[in-house]
Structure 1
Amino acid sequence: MAYYGQPQGAPPPGHQQPYGAPMGQPQYGQQMPGYGAPQVDPGVLAWFQSVDQDRSGRISALELQQALTNNDWSRFSISTCYAMIGLFDKDFSGTIDINEFGQLWGFINQWRQVFNSFDSDRSGNISHQELHRAFEQLGYRLSPGFVNVALYKFDTGMRRSLTFEGFINCCMMLQQTSYHFQQKDTRRVGQAQYNYEEFMHTAVLCLKP
């Protein structure tokens, strides 16, 4: 049994991982051949065209920021948009094409469904109790003390709750750190040994910009 969870309601990884999905290698949706091609989902194409303000055929983090909102209509931060672009930017151009955008859009919509399923009071935010329940149902064995730390880290509005953006950032952090922990926990017992540099390497890789 996994000690740190395989999220059951989260976007599906390319292959099963006992400690969560490696977010740097998303496998969501089908490949789409190009901007405006008939095989592209019409809804995805419409969103892509509306976001692609300079008509370059590629989406930058600044353009993506204009399309992403929390439930209170506040914009996502630019650092989150850069991070999300980075998840799907296979050629390291700093932008995403229609194929990569389709995968990103599926990723966002799946996480919004997860967020809404745990926002039990329909407040538009995830409270401490809702976040703790979310961690448990996603398969992470984490204490109420850790939930407090996560809220402090990802609550940008000092409301003691998480917006949709904060929830995504929190879950991405959990999946990334759990994946790196898994690489050290070769016996799958929930324990791993790190030296100082290895720990710092993992911390830097998973640090939110």
Structure 2
Amino acid sequence: MYHQVHPKRKLLQPEETEEEKQFRAIYQQIAGDDMQICANELKTILKNVLSKHNDIKSEGFSLETCRSMIALMDTDGTGKLNLQEFKHLWKKIKDWQLIFKRYDKDKTWSISSFEMRNAVNDAGFQLNRQLYDIIAMRYADERLNIDFDSYICCFVRLEGMFRAFNAFDKDGDGIIKLNVLEWLQLTMYS
């Protein structure tokens, strides 16, 4: 019996879309030689990327929001984002933006604090009434509206807090025990 030998087949990598090519080019231009971006560079790159999207009305994110984003996505602990970490962040922003648009029916790029409750649920965060009230106090303006930048900042914070909690919840029972230094570590870099 003869066995037919097939040459090794190359695994096909999906073609980069035009958006991904532009994305990589912008990233490389701003990241520089180390191919990592710090908070200031992240602020610049997000402003550039957002300006190319007509469907996202934003002046860009504050430096503090960018620091929070890095803390959320910095899986290798460098304090900066590599291309993969940045791509993951951008995917999250795009996913959260779709939820935001669902509730921003009048296209003012703000949603009410009541709509924020539904958006938070749609994103998969299960909270109680007290936490929704805290979110409104922290992120809403005097008319109880939350703009896009505050909305993203809140979601970054929630994502980071859930991720950090889960890292400490080794047995998955929903309860963690921390000493003061662990508590500070958990809350400082988020």
- Following TM superposition, by how much is the alpha carbon of 1:78 offset from its aligned partner in structure 2, in angstroms? 0.9
RMSD over equivalenced CA pairs, Å: 3.6
Using a 3 Å threshold, how does the CA distance of structure 1 residues 83 and 139 change in structure 2: closer, same or farther? closer
Percentage of pairs with the same residue: 22
Contact 2:68 2:157 in 1 (8 A): no
Aligned residue in 1 for 2:106 = 121
SS at match of 1:65: helix
Residue 163 (1) aligns with residue 163 (2) = no
The one-letter code matched in structure 2 to 1:49 is: A
The one-letter code matched in structure 1 to 2:119 is: A
- Give the TM-score, by structure 1 length: 0.59
Using a 3 Å threshold, how does the CA distance of structure 1 residues 66 and 175 change in structure 2: closer, same or farther? closer
- Structure with bigger RCO (C-alpha 8 Å, 6+ apart): 1
Contact 2:69 2:89 in 1 (8 A): yes
**Distance in 1 between the 2:75 and 2:121 partners?**
32
Using a 3 Å threshold, how does the CA distance of structure 1 residues 105 and 172 change in structure 2: closer, same or farther? closer
1:184-195 correspondence to structure 2 within 5 Å: 192=175
Residue 53 (1) aligns with residue 30 (2) = yes
Aligned length: 166
Aligned residue in 2 for 1:142 = 128
- Following TM superposition, by how much is the alpha carbon of 1:141 offset from its aligned partner in structure 2, in angstroms? 4.3
Contact 2:74 2:85 in 1 (8 A): yes
Contact 1:62 1:78 in 2 (8 A): yes
- Following TM superposition, by how much is the alpha carbon of 1:117 offset from its aligned partner in structure 2, in angstroms? 1.9
- Following TM superposition, by how much is the alpha carbon of 1:170 offset from its aligned partner in structure 2, in angstroms? 1.9
More helix by share: 2
The one-letter code matched in structure 1 to 2:150 is: G
SS at match of 1:107: helix
SS at match of 1:126: strand
- Following TM superposition, by how much is the alpha carbon of 1:208 offset from its aligned partner in structure 2, in angstroms? 7.3
Deviations 1:12-61 (A, max 9, x none): xxxxxxxxxxxxxxxxxxxxxxxxx9965442231232243364333332
Greater radius of gyration (CA): 2
Using a 3 Å threshold, how does the CA distance of structure 1 residues 203 and 174 change in structure 2: closer, same or farther? farther
Using a 3 Å threshold, how does the CA distance of structure 1 residues 91 and 193 change in structure 2: closer, same or farther? closer
SS at match of 2:23: helix
The one-letter code matched in structure 2 to 1:78 is: L
- Following TM superposition, by how much is the alpha carbon of 1:159 offset from its aligned partner in structure 2, in angstroms? 5.0
**Distance in 1 between the 2:87 and 2:176 partners?**
39
Contact 2:72 2:159 in 1 (8 A): no
The one-letter code matched in structure 2 to 1:53 is: I
**Distance in 2 between the 1:73 and 1:141 partners?**
27
- Give the TM-score, by structure 2 length: 0.64
**Distance in 2 between the 1:95 and 1:184 partners?**
27
Using a 3 Å threshold, how does the CA distance of structure 1 residues 127 and 116 change in structure 2: closer, same or farther? same
Residue 63 (1) aligns with residue 41 (2) = yes
Aligned residue in 1 for 2:90 = 105
Using a 3 Å threshold, how does the CA distance of structure 1 residues 94 and 124 change in structure 2: closer, same or farther? same
Residue 183 (1) aligns with residue 169 (2) = yes
